[in-house]
Homo-oligomer: A and B are copies of this chain.
């Protein structure tokens, strides 16, 4: 039996002005009409039934979370009283599934705000991963074959040759996890051929991850496990979360554990880190423009325009992102998309709360 655990607690500011504190990235429709969260669930169709899809998100976004997935049983939306990174989120979900009576179920742990181009390939990789993860004690992560020396991702070094093959997919033992590298290191990683991008997707049995947490990160597991039947009680959960460290599952468990395996995935994955990534992944016209909404362009190319609120006219613009919302407008050189966060920091500094 499988549970999907969608981690939807992100609070990123890199998609300002569409993303706001009240509506972070996973709730945005960056590609087509579905939000990233909705698309994350859609691409599990046929792999996990909706009644076994769990979403773990922030209590502050409860209304939005429920609106997004009206077809899920309400109890499948797990609300965290505060964001504590991925380790507490995963521990909470694992305890939840165990409490439902399925300690041997497999968990497919997936971020809610990524892009996958090839859903067929994605599902094939996950099927192989869950087969591998059926074995107690085995922890599986999905690595992405790097296409460029990206410095924005963590990397996973694997052992070659593969330990075995499942449904045509190689399974490698993990040698080490590497934090986000500098450019020279990233180039070395990519050239070496034995590094993959860390996608943040994991598969394991509930009892396996609980055991690993108990061994490597008891400070994460114990306050939650101590809740017992009170796991559903918001107040008790709030108190427990107050005791938890902010820590990622990579740092808390994966970097320390043995029996960690990686399956290389090749399914057009992106973590969609900025408006530049949205531009790159969007369908474009003959001038390389990706327009949404009402746009008139003269002598303009390689622009991303999201104009859902009003007519936008571009004249002589190239490699620029224009993101229009009712109260705020971003005009950003695409190559500078990383600096959107800086602009948001400035709004914060100047206490312009209505725009955050």
Knowing A339-B299, A347-B296, say if A311 contacts B327 (CB, 8 Å): yes
The A275-331 residues at the B interface (CB cut-off 8 A) are: 296, 298-299, 307, 310-317, 320, 322, 324-331
CB proximity to B under 8 Å, residues A155-177: none
Judge whether A352 is part of the interface by a CB distance below 8 angstroms.
yes
Residues in B with CB closer than 8 Å to A1 are none
Determine whether A17 belongs to the interface, using a CB cutoff of 8 Å to chain B: yes
State the oligomeric state as a number of copies. Answer: 2
Minimum CB–CB distance for A225 against chain B, Å: 45
Question: How distant is the Cα of A347 from the Cα of B296 in the complex, in angstroms?
Answer: 8
Interface size on A, residues (CB 8 A): 37
- Across the interface, which residues of B come within 8 angstroms of A352, CB to CB? 311
Task: Please tell me if A180 contacts chain B, counting CB pairs below 8 Å.
Answer: no
> Is A47 an interface residue when CB atoms closer than 8 A count as contact?
no
Q: Give the residues in chain B near A340, CB-CB below 8 Å.
A: 313, 315
Nearest residue, chain B, Cβ from A333: B316
- B298 with A310: CB separation less than 8 A: no
Q: List chain B residues, Cβ under 8 A from A296.
A: 343, 346-347
- Closest B residue by C-beta to A329: B312
Residue among B313, B325, B343 making CB contact with A331, cutoff 8 Å: B313
Known interface pairs A336-B299, A339-B315; A331-B322 also in contact (CB < 8 Å)? yes
Note all chain B residues with C-beta closer than 8 A to A355.
311
Query: When the two chains form their complex, are residues B332 and A310 in contact, meaning their CB atoms are under 8 A apart?
Result: no
A342 within 8 A of B: yes
Contact A342 B298, beta carbon cutoff 8 Å:
yes
Is there an interface contact between B343 and A315, defined as CB atoms closer than 8 Å? yes
Check B17–A339 contact: CB distance below 8 A: no
Judge whether B315 and A332 touch: CB under 8 Å: yes
Instruction: Return chain B residues, CB-CB under 8 Å to A333.
Output: 315-317
Residue A121 interfacial (CB < 8 Å):
no
Q: Which of A314, A337, A347, A352 has its CB near the most chain B CB atoms (within 10 A)?
A: A314
Chain A residues with a Cβ under 8 A of chain B: 16-17, 296, 298-299, 307, 310-317, 320, 322, 324-333, 335-337, 339-340, 342-343, 346-347, 352, 355
Would you give 25 A-B contacts (Cβ < 8 Å), ordered by A?
A16-B313, A17-B311, A296-B346, A298-B339, A298-B343, A298-B346, A310-B326, A310-B327, A311-B329, A312-B328, A312-B331, A313-B329, A313-B330, A313-B332, A313-B340, A313-B343, A315-B331, A315-B332, A315-B339, A315-B340, A315-B343, A316-B339, A317-B320, A320-B331, A322-B329
